[in-house]
Amino acid sequence: MLASRHHQSLLEYRRARYLKLALCLVVVATVAYLWIDPTPRYPKHYGGTWLGYTLGTIAALLMLWLMLLGIRKRRYGSRLGTVQGWTSAHVYLGGAVLVVATLHAGFELGWNVHTLAWVLVLAVSASGVYGVLVYLRYPALVTANLGDDTIDTLVLKVGEIDRECEALAMNLPDEVNALVMRARQSRVGGGLLRELRGERVRCPTREACTRLPAALAPKLSTEQVRLGERLLAAMVRKRELLARARRDLQLRAAMRVWLLLHVPLSFGAIAALIAHVVSVFYFW
């Protein structure tokens, strides 16, 4: 029983407890919006009615609570629930905030700070959905790609193959040696954008694998033919190792990039929320 709980997805945490809570919140807010009549002075709902203030307060408090997940993750000795439970609640209640905030605004959007706050909440929710998809799928892809290796062991294996290729190319034509030396310039990593491109980056090793057969085509001795076959096989192994290393960095970069969006957008949404509240109570 404990093992099954430990391996359950954060979306299924405690039988989707927080999904049910979020749905209840959305249903109650929607029913209240549809059932309760606006005030006689205003023929439709908007944020300045008592229902609008209530929904706005709920949305604001939820946004502030959602920001506490980052603190909870770093409080390893905390007894305030598990990190998995907090994350599950963060996912579902974060989606509910968008619905409640939209009902709070009465679907009235314009070019002002109030709409900016709503747009930022929408952006935070969208980046959060992307983050959930990434963290549910990509760790398994990383494991499948690396197997028993790590990025460090892959790099070490590439270095060993480079030395092997240099030794094999010493007794082969100069064009072959030039391709081998150029293949040593193959890079792994080099910045977030380069990592996200993965195998789409220009790779001297791939080029060497393509051009080696032609460079080995001229009449060679029996020994050189044997060396050329071994060289080409080694270069193909290197190309495969580099592809796996780049794929690993690509997957990890994809898991990092959403945080580069989600966290700043979250703080931006809080700042816009504060501006929204201050402007409402000060100017109105």
Does position 6 have pLDDT exceeding 50, yes or no? no
pLDDT of residue 2: 38
More confident residue, 71 or 220: 220
What is the SS3 assignment for 267?
helix
Q: Are residues 273 and 226 in the same domain?
A: no
* pLDDT classification of 75: cutoffs 50, 70, 90: low
Does residue 144 lie in a domain region?
Answer: no
Q: Are residues 265 and 250 in the same domain?
A: no
DSSP-assigned letter for residue 172: S
Distance CA 92, CA 13 (A): 11
pLDDT of residue 195: 93
Q: Are residues 42 and 68 in the same domain?
A: yes
Does residue 141 lie in a domain region?
Answer: no
Residue range 233-255: average pLDDT?
Answer: 95
Does position 96 have pLDDT exceeding 70, yes or no? yes
Give the percent of the chain with pLDDT over 70.
90
Burial grade of 218 (CB within 10 A; 0-12, 13-18, 19 or more): exposed
Q: Are residues 118 and 215 in the same domain?
A: no
Residue range 254-275: average pLDDT?
Answer: 92
Distance CA 43, CA 183 (A): 72
Distance CA 220, CA 241 (A): 29
Does residue 143 lie in a domain region?
Answer: no
Q: Please, what sign has the CA dihedral across residues 15, 21, 22, 27?
A: positive
Does position 40 have pLDDT exceeding 70, yes or no? no
Does residue 146 lie in a domain region?
Answer: no
pLDDT of residue 127: 92
Q: Are residues 108 and 43 in the same domain?
A: yes
Distance CA 262, CA 283 (A): 31
Tokens at 184, concatenated: 């040593």
pLDDT of residue 144: 95
Does residue 224 lie in a domain region?
Answer: yes
Does residue 213 lie in a domain region?
Answer: yes
More confident residue, 284 or 7: 284
Residue range 160-181: average pLDDT?
Answer: 95
Residues 6+ apart with CB under 8 A from 111: none
Does residue 142 lie in a domain region?
Answer: no
Q: Are residues 41 and 104 in the same domain?
A: yes
Q: Are residues 126 and 243 in the same domain?
A: no
Q: Are residues 161 and 69 in the same domain?
A: no
pLDDT of residue 44: 75
Q: Are residues 87 and 15 in the same domain?
A: yes
Nearest CA-CA partner of 29 in 93, 110, 124, 109: 93
Inter-residue contact 227 to 180 (CB < 8 Å):
no
* pLDDT classification of 37: cutoffs 50, 70, 90: confident
Does position 3 have pLDDT exceeding 60, yes or no? no
pLDDT of residue 1: 36
Q: What is the pLDDT of residues 97-143, one digit of tens each?
A: 999 999 998 888 888 899 999 999 999 999 988 888 888 899 899 99
Q: Domain tally for the chain?
A: 2
Domain that holds residue 40: 2-134+261-283
Residue range 186-208: average pLDDT?
Answer: 92
Q: What is the pLDDT of residues 201-233, one digit of tens each?
A: 899 999 999 999 999 888 888 899 999 999 999
Q: Are residues 123 and 31 in the same domain?
A: yes
Q: Are residues 63 and 20 in the same domain?
A: yes
Q: Are residues 167 and 273 in the same domain?
A: no
